[in-house]
Amino acid sequence: MKRVLWVFESACVTGFLPPMVSGSAAGSTDGEKGKTTDGVLGAERHRVVVNLMDKERDENSVFFSALFRLMQTSATMGCIGTSLAVGRFLLSLDPMRDPMGVLMLLDYFALTTMKDEDLDFIVNLVESKTVQIYCKDVHTPADDNHCCELTDMPNWAYSYPLALYRQSVRATEVTAREQLLEKANRQLHNSICAFPEMPSLILEKNNVDVTGRSFSMDWPLVLEPLRKSASERVCGMEAEASDKYEAVVDRIGRIFVGRGHKLWSGDDVLKWLYNGCKCVTVTASPEAPDQDVNQPKTPTSSALTRYLQFNPADFESTLHTLPADIAMF
């Protein structure tokens, strides 16, 4: 992988890189206070136009594949920070089409590093709406059927409130902690309403006993309404559209649970998840819960179906290799 990337780095076209600001790193002045040599105010951000790279070109496809394999193998070796950095770079090459499907893993890498700045990355990326999910044809009009938000993906819908919850735990000020926790709870409720099958998958993967009943966590009481809600979710959709949507939600959801289920295995996180499920299914009022700007929308978007093209084996936590005793020649 190092040799492959060295070749690509050596062959990189200089004009593809972001332009350098004239003068020193801080910007040399032309004698007038606050202005750099190009006449831009020093306090103003220097905006850079970066060319998007087309994966469909033969010259670029191997570069995308090499970066994806580096991201995959780095995670297998435990270098999650490297995987996150490579994944962010891959997404930046073509954020509108996400040709390698890194949005199905990027939230997991950011949560696994256990760093505050990576929690901020998840929260800021969702709330800024900088990255949206489009159909394969980016020239399609961006209406509700061809464009959706990050939180319309099951993994981002649950990773976003988990990032907020972690921020609330690490907050030092009482007021900030309460505000973040309230926001995390609201987002978790919205995510459970949108993807009610995820809590069962998370609990099953963590080997949590969901048949036993206790005063602290009565899982059968809250999971049965969620299973019913999951079966009724796409009743108003056309048969073909509902089948595709269920397939992509199942695929993204299982990748999310398979990679990140341990992030939900802590006692405090499980209790927080149970309280969220209970609030939605048991103690919720007949009216719908408070809507939030980042709540996953009704499943009518066809943009998510683009992720059906990816092979789930490429996103597993283990790297498939040939047995050592195979005679290659």
Label each residue of 17-28 as H, E or C.
CCCCCCCCCCCC
In a domain, 49, yes or no: no
Query: Cα 96 to chain center, whole Å?
Result: 14
Whether residue 223 is contained in a domain is answered as yes
- Is residue 44, in this structure, part of any structural domain at all? no
pLDDT digit string, tens, across residues 42-99: 333 333 334 578 898 888 899 999 999 999 999 988 999 999 999 999 999 999 889 9
Counting as low any pLDDT under 70, the low residues of the chain are: 15-51, 136-145, 234-240, 283-301, 319-329
Count structural domains, the chain: 1
Domain that holds residue 82: 55-308
Non-local CB neighbours of 252 within 8 Å, separated by 6+ positions: 104, 153, 154, 155, 304, 307
pLDDT of amino acid 327: 65
DSSP bridge partners of 258:
none
In a domain, 188, yes or no: yes
Rounded distance between C-alpha atoms, residue 139 and residue 124, angstroms:
26
In a domain, 20, yes or no: no
pLDDT tens digit string along 6-31? 998 888 777 666 554 434 334 444 44
Distance CA 322, CA 44 (A): 54
At residue 288, the 3 state secondary structure works out as coil
- Per DSSP, the three-state class of 100 is coil
31 within domain boundaries: no
User: According to the model, what pLDDT value does residue 212 have?
Assistant: 83
* Beta strands at 147-148 and 133-134: parallel, antiparallel or unpaired: antiparallel
Q: Is residue 96 in a domain?
A: yes
Task: Note whether residue 50 is domain-resident.
Answer: no
